[in-house]
Amino acid sequence: MIVTVCADKGSPGVSWTATALGMMWPGERVLLEADPSGGDAALRMRTPEGHLLARHPALRALAVDVRSGSLPTSLLNYAHQTSLGIPVIPATDMRTEDFALIARQWPAVAAAADKWSGAVIADLGRLQEDNSAGPIAAASTIVLLIARATPEGLYHLRERASALTARLGQGLHGRSPLTVAVICPAREHSARLRDVQVQLTAEATTSNIPVAGWIAEDERSVQALRTGQLTKKLAGGDLLKSARELIHSLTAWRPPAEARQSPPWPGPAAAAPSPPGAPPMNVGGWSQ
């Protein structure tokens, strides 16, 4: 399954939310950096021995292999083990312009991620219509939209939730993969969750979008994540505690994958034909 983590404006807290979810997610999983604005996991994370992550393998290698029709047997072949306990497929070898070059490979990357036996936690950053990694979201079992319970945050949440509801489509059971999590201090989470729910139900187009839970605004834990250190403060902090609660809600809520029928999402204007033997690149309505 694929769990996309995204936001609307400035991707506030997406990377560390995705990292926290990846750390706490049960079973086999991998963190995939799929934010076209650039990834920095290899710059902030460390190996279990405390060294910087190597530049290879990384996202580019995965994109090249799926383009050639060589679907990987395990995404872990492209991942690095980290001191935070979560394998990561970094995008540090990708510049912003490189993401445009692999735009046509995203549907095949999404297909490989969807077929993998574990959970892929995908950091997509700001998910707008021009995000070239959108096929990842279209193939996701869960699309987690991150928001802050501020006046401007709630405004952008309504706008983005409405747009994504239309883009991702409704399943046969009348439920899209989209759900919301709010970032807030632990002591305020009950009130902030109510605020977000009120704002969403005020809009007819967003009234069916559930609020899955919250992620703690815990600066000490975030600083530990940025240095790639699994400290006692991080392990016992509000961030990972809230991530564990959120995962429980997400796994209990997730819609059945076979019920999803996603409409097309804007893709590259011109697509090159697939080489002989390459799998059809048509995932969740994104076609090549």
At 97-145, the pLDDT tens digits run 777 778 889 999 998 999 899 999 999 998 888 888 889 998 899 999 9
Please state the domain count of the chain: 1
pLDDT for the residue 261: 53
Highest average pLDDT, of 51-65, 192-206, 251-265, comes from 51-65
What mean pLDDT do residues 206-232 have?
87
Residue 107 belongs to what domain range?
2-259
**E strand or H helix that includes residue 191:** helix 189-201
Tell me if 286 is assigned to some domain. Answer: no
Tell me if 274 is assigned to some domain. Answer: no
pLDDT for the residue 247: 97
Tell me if 88 is assigned to some domain. Answer: yes
* 36/123 Cα distance (integer angstroms): 10
* 137/187 Cα distance (integer angstroms): 31
Tell me if 27 is assigned to some domain. Answer: yes
pLDDT for the residue 273: 39
Burial of 186 (0-12, 13-18, 19+ CB in 10 A): middle
Tell me if 187 is assigned to some domain. Answer: yes
Tell me if 279 is assigned to some domain. Answer: no
pLDDT for the residue 162: 81
The phi, psi pair for 143, rounded to 5°, reads -115, 110
CATH number of the domain encompassing residue 25: 3.40.50.300
Write down the residue that tokens 């240095």 correspond to: 227
The yes-or-no verdict on residue 268 having pLDDT over 50 is no
**2-7 β-sheet, strand order:** 88-89, 29-33, 119-126, 2-7, 142-148, 178-184, 211-216
Tell me if 266 is assigned to some domain. Answer: no
Distances (CA, A) of 243 to 6, 134, 184, 215: 15, 24, 12, 6
pLDDT category, 284, cuts 50, 70, 90?
very low
- Give the CA radius of gyration of the chain: 18
What mean pLDDT do residues 55-66 have?
88
Tell me if 77 is assigned to some domain. Answer: yes
pLDDT for the residue 271: 36
pTM comes to: 0.85
